[in-house]
Structure 1
Amino acid sequence: MSDVSPVSPRGEVPRDVLVRWLGEYLNVSAFRDPSLNGLQIEGTELIRRVAVSVDTSLKTLQHAADSGADLLIAHHGLFWGQPLALTGPHRERVRAALMADLNVYVSHIPLDAHPEVGNNAMIARALTLQNLQPFGEWAGTRIGLAGELPFEQSLQDFADRVQKLTGEICLVHGGGRSPTVRRLGVLSGGGAGSIAEAAALGLDTLLTGEPEHKHFHDAFEYGVNVVYAGHYETEVFGVRALAARLEDEFGLQWQFLHHPTGL
């Protein structure tokens, strides 16, 4: 899939070539996403070193610049579908990128949904889910996955397993009709609104990121266990897997910038 010019040595890629490759690989145009997916800030023309992160906070952008990155790939970007004045903290974030000549590329929903390096695909793979099917409707598209564990586990044992995977202490709502986990839906980030869909598919458990007050009662009224493992911690998987894919494809060095929010 790579169309890197033959005069470019491995480990060095023209920015525009890499941006085009990312757009095709992530199938960005297929998603109606309020995030401005793609290159949000243009920097240096040649990419040798990549940093990846979940968010684009000022601290993260400064960390990327200090690490010598030419490109920051983030899951949550700087722009969300509407004009935003360059004032206050937003100005400082943009300024940090411009001063460092740092390219900022964002992949939000496309990176949740990607079948190879997406957040949900990576979590499902880590949990060895079988018989996968699309799950988790978002704007008319299912971006998560549902499947079956190889063996039934108690809800507590499953939560402990997720905690080891993410490093986050899970919040568990035991609303299921059974205190065990076998048929599971995975939807990273803010997936609490998919509890009803999980029940309709006959899933006993939903694994997602953060809870929402308006969906608190859904778990108990629909009879679905819900394991909340943190919005941030369920979305570290995609950017890291994408960076590893870039290393394989182009030989680019990369670094994951870890700035957890606890949410």
Structure 2
Amino acid sequence: MKLKDFSNWLDKLLDPKSFKDYCVDGLCIEANDQVTKVVTGVSFRDRLIDAAIEEKADCILVHHPNGFWKNEDRIPVGHYGERLRRMFQNGISLYGYHLPLDGHMDIGNNALIAKAMGLSVVDGFMFEGEKPVAVIAEFDTCVSKEEFLACAEKAFEHGVQNALLYGSNQIHRVAICSGSGASGIEEALDLGCDAFITGEIKEAVPITCEELKFNLIHCGHHRTEIFGVRALADKIQNELHIPAKFVDLDNPI
């Protein structure tokens, strides 16, 4: 498939122009004019380049386009220059899709976390631009805190990192924002949520949960964001018939 056609397909699917993001969303490195095999991963890093070379892929697609965030120094020297050199020498193009791959209601991280938890998405929240990046989802019937944790342990391969369970024992309505999404706690409370699922938290979050009597679990920034790039690899393979493979290079944070 021609690279420009692949770009158009991705942009139509993920609609990056509707999001106000703080990194490049779309093509970051154009090292080839064709796409014949794709590797997807959470973050652009040396070992993902190694995997792409081993797989003989000519395209990498990531959620975190490290090196292409706003305000980063993009002068191609040092380690960053070495990465670019390897990509061009091996004819590997790079795409990054950040918030669009959180908020997508079919293959987005948050919608897929809800599905894995046995929840049904009912709304979006935490708007960044024209679209939300997080979801509100509900259980068919209320569950206890213990049942809620059991669902999370099943949904996430590495389980729950911390459970801050200061709120109601009856959990029905759940806010989900993968990655570092705990800034949405107060909005989730205003929307009537009983609990919040996210990836990574800051020091003040346990205090906020205690004082606002709220339930929150976090399961790892990387580990809550494998869902979108994994689903996207399947979609590329099934719909475009281009070989695509998700490579999980775990990061405990």
Task: Bin the TM-score by the shorter chain.
Answer: over 0.9
Contact 1:137–1:194 (8 Å) recurs in 2: no
Counterpart of 2:136 (choices 143, 146, 149) is: 146
Q: Deviations over 1:52-73 (max 9, x none)?
A: 0000011111211221111111
Question: What TM-score do you get using the length of structure 1 for normalisation?
Answer: 0.89
201-210 vs 39-48, greater mean Cα deviation: 39-48
Quick one: distance in 2 between partners of 1:66 and 1:144? 35
> Which runs of structure 2 are paired with 1:39-188 in the superposition (5 Å)?
39-77=27-65, 78-82=67-71, 83-130=73-120, 132-138=122-128, 141-170=131-160, 171-176=162-167, 178-188=168-178
Contact 1:173–1:225 (8 Å) recurs in 2: yes
Q: In the alignment, does 2:230 pair up with 1:247?
A: no
Contact 1:62–1:96 (8 Å) recurs in 2: no
Tell me which residue corresponds to 1:34: 22
Q: How many residues align?
A: 250
SS of 1:66's equivalent? helix
Offset at 1:152?
2.3
Counterpart amino acid of residue 154 in structure 1: S
Counterpart amino acid of residue 174 in structure 1: L
Contact 2:18–2:131 (8 Å) recurs in 1: no
Quick one: distance in 2 between partners of 1:255 and 1:203? 36
Quick one: distance in 1 between partners of 2:105 and 2:184? 19
**Which 4+ residue blocks in structure 1 deviate beyond 3 angstroms?**
137-141
Quick one: distance in 1 between partners of 2:132 and 2:16? 15
Tell me which residue corresponds to 1:3: none
Listed as ranges, the gaps of 5+ residues in structure 1 are 1-12
Counterpart amino acid of residue 135 in structure 2: L
Counterpart amino acid of residue 175 in structure 2: G
Counterpart of 1:223 (choices 210, 213, 226) is: 213
Q: Identity of paired residues, percent?
A: 29
Q: Deviations over 1:97-153 (max 9, x none)?
A: 122110101100011111111111111222232361112344674211112112322
Counterpart amino acid of residue 132 in structure 1: V
Listed as ranges, the gaps of 5+ residues in structure 2 are none
CA change 1:17–1:155 in 2 (3 A) is same
Quick one: distance in 2 between partners of 1:137 and 1:261? 27
Counterpart amino acid of residue 129 in structure 1: L
Contact 2:199–2:221 (8 Å) recurs in 1: yes
Contact 1:64–1:257 (8 Å) recurs in 2: no
Question: What TM-score do you get using the length of structure 2 for normalisation?
Answer: 0.93
Counterpart amino acid of residue 172 in structure 1: A
30-39 vs 159-168, greater mean Cα deviation: 159-168
Contact 1:65–1:97 (8 Å) recurs in 2: no
Contact 1:113–1:119 (8 Å) recurs in 2: yes
SS of 1:116's equivalent? coil
Counterpart of 2:3 (choices 2, 9, 15) is: 15
Contact 1:184–1:206 (8 Å) recurs in 2: yes
Quick one: distance in 1 between partners of 2:127 and 2:184? 7
56-65 vs 201-210, greater mean Cα deviation: 56-65
